[in-house]
C-alpha cells in the first residue's frame, strides 16, 4: 500500500490537501480530480491577472486621454493656436450689428434666422460684455477674441437681450463704435410678460420648486392694480428703456423687428433685416418650414432642418382673462408713448 499527498496553494495563500491511496483502487480517479482542479486554478489565476492588466491599461489610457483632452482644450483657447486653424482671409472682428433686446421677444429666433445668410456670422453665445462689469473690465480685445471668424465682406452679429434694460450699455457700445447698427425685437408687452413668467415657471418646475401663480406676481395685493415692482412688467414698459438708447444713437441706426410677425411670417421680417444691414435678399420661404408639433416656423438649409430649443414655444400656464385685460389696459398709455417716440405703431390690443 502506498500513499501520496498533494498540496495545492491558491492565490489567496490558502492550501488544499489531497491524499491518494494506491491500495484502495481510487488513486487514478483522485489523480484525475487533482488535474482538473490544477487546471481550474491555473485558468482562474490567469484570468484574474489578465483582467487586472486590462483594467490598469484602460485606466491609464483614460487618464492619458483625459489629460491630453485638457491640454488640447487649453491649447485651443490660446489665440495663437486658433489663428493657425481658420479659413485663410478670415479673422475675429468686432460686431457690426448687435441685437440688444428684448428678452422673450424672439431674439434667438432672429439670430438663428439671419444666420442663414451667407454674409452673416453669428456669435454663438450671449456675450453680456457690455452689461456685466466683470467681463467689460477685461477689455475690448477680450470681447473681439470671442467673436467668430469672418471674411471682410461678412457681418458679425452679437445678441444679448439684457443690454436693452441696462443703463450703462448704450454709452459703452457707443464708445466701441458710435455708428454701429442695432436691432431690437418688440412684441405685444402683455404677451411678453406671460412668456417671461412661463420661462421662470418651467425652470422652477424642473427643479421641483413651487412658483407663485402669475396673478400673485402681476397684481398688487393691496391696490389690485398692476404690480410695477414685478421685473417682467418693468421690462415691457418699452419706452422707458428705449429713451435711453435714443439719447445715444440716432433713430436710423436702430431697426425695430416685430416679434409677433416674426413668428407668423419670418421671411417678411428677415427681409427688413437684410435691407437694414445692406445685404442681398438671400433668405426665402424655402429656408423655413412650419413645424405642426411645435406650432411655429423652423429653419431649413438644404437638407438640414432645425427648430429652436425645447424651451421655445412652450404653452403659457393658464391666466385668468381679467388679468390679461388689466395688463392690456395698463400698457396702453405706455405703448402710445413708445409709438410716438419711434414714429411707428403696432397692433397691440
Q: Does 306 lie in the same domain as 190? A: yes
- 140 near 94, Cβ under 8 Å? yes
The pLDDT score that the predictor gives to residue 305 is: 84
To the question of whether residue 187 is assigned a binding role by annotation, the answer is yes
In a domain, 82, yes or no: no
Q: Which three cell numbers stand for residue 123?
A: 456669435
To the question of whether residue 241 is assigned a binding role by annotation, the answer is no
> Residue ranges of the alpha helices (H) in 146-235?
169-176, 189-206, 214-218, 231-235
Q: Which three cell numbers stand for residue 236?
A: 415691457
- Provide the domain count of the chain: 2
Which residues are CB-neighbours of 339 under 8 A, at least 6 positions away?
345, 346
Q: Does 174 lie in the same domain as 102? A: yes
> Residue ranges of the alpha helices (H) in the chain?
27-77, 79-82, 107-114, 133-136, 140-145, 169-176, 189-206, 214-218, 231-235, 238-246, 259-264, 266-276, 321-342
**Would you place residue 43 in the very low, low, confident or very high pLDDT band (cuts 50, 70, 90)?**
low
To the question of whether residue 172 is assigned a binding role by annotation, the answer is no
Q: Does 260 lie in the same domain as 182? A: yes
Burial of 100 (0-12, 13-18, 19+ CB in 10 A): buried
To the question of whether residue 298 is assigned a binding role by annotation, the answer is no
Q: Is the pLDDT score of 92 beyond 60?
A: yes
pLDDT digits (tens, 9 = 90+) for 55-89: 433 434 344 344 444 444 444 444 555 566 788 89
Q: Does 142 lie in the same domain as 10? A: no
Residues forming the active site: 104
- Name the residue range of residue 43's domain: 3-77
To the question of whether residue 104 is assigned a binding role by annotation, the answer is yes
pTM: 0.75
Any idea what the CATH number is for the domain that residue 231 is in? 3.40.50.300
First to last CA, the chain: 113
Computed over every residue of the chain, the mean pLDDT equals: 83
In a domain, 200, yes or no: yes
Amino acid at each position: 500500500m502506498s500513499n501520496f499527498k498533494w498540496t495545492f496553494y491558491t492565490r489567496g495563500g490558502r492550501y488544499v490537501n489531497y491524499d491518494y491511496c494506491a491500495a484502495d483502487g481510487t488513486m487514478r480517479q483522485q489523480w484525475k480530480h487533482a488535474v482538473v482542479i490544477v487546471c481550474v486554478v491555473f485558468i482562474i489565476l490567469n484570468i484574474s491577472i489578465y483582467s487586472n492588466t486590462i483594467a490598469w491599461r484602460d485606466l491609464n489610457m483614460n487618464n492619458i486621454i483625459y489629460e491630453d483632452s485638457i491640454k488640447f482644450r487649453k491649447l485651443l483657447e490660446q489665440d495663437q493656436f486658433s489663428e493657425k486653424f481658420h479659413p485663410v482671409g478670415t479673422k475675429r472682428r468686432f460686431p457690426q450689428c448687435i441685437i440688444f433686446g428684448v428678452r422673450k421677444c424672439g431674439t434667438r429666433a432672429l439670430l438663428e434666422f439671419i444666420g442663414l445668410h451667407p454674409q452673416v456670422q453669428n456669435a454663438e453665445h450671449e456675450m453680456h460684455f457690455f452689461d456685466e462689469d466683470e467681463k467689460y473690465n477685461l477689455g475690448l480685445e477680450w470681447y473681439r477674441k470671442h467673436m467668430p471668424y469672418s471674411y471682410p465682406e461678412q457681418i458679425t452679429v452679437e445678441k444679448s437681450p439684457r443690454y436693452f434694460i441696462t443703463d450703462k450699455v448704450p454709452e459703452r457700445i457707443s464708445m466701441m463704435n458710435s455708428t454701429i447698427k442695432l436691432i431690437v425685437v418688440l412684441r405685444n408687452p402683455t404677451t411678453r410678460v406671460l412668456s417671461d413668467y412661463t420661462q421662470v415657471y418651467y425652470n422652477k418646475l424642473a427643479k421641483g420648486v413651487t412658483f407663485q401663480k402669475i396673478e400673485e406676481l402681476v397684481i398688487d395685493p393691496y391696490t389690485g392694480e398692476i404690480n410695477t415692482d414685478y421685473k417682467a412688467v418693468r421690462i415691457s414698459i418699452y419706452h422707458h428703456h428705449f429713451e435711453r438708447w435714443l439719447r445715444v444713437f440716432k433713430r436710423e441706426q436702430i431697426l425695430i423687428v416685430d416679434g409677433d410677425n416674426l413668428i407668423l411670417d419670418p421671411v417678411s421680417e428677415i427681409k427688413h433685416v437684410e435691407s437694414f444691414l445692406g445685404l442681398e435678399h438671400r433668405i426665402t420661404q424655402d429656408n423655413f418650414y412650419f413645424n405642426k408639433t411645435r406650432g411655429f416656423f423652423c429653419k431649413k438649409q438644404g437638407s438640414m432642418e432645425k427648430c429652436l430649443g425645447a424651451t421655445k414655444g412652450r404653452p403659457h400656464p393658464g391666466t385668468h382673462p381679467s388679468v390679461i385685460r388689466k395688463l392690456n389696459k395698463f400698457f396702453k398709455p405706455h405703448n402710445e408713448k413708445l409709438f410716438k417716440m419711434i414714429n411707428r405703431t403696432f397692433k397691440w390690443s
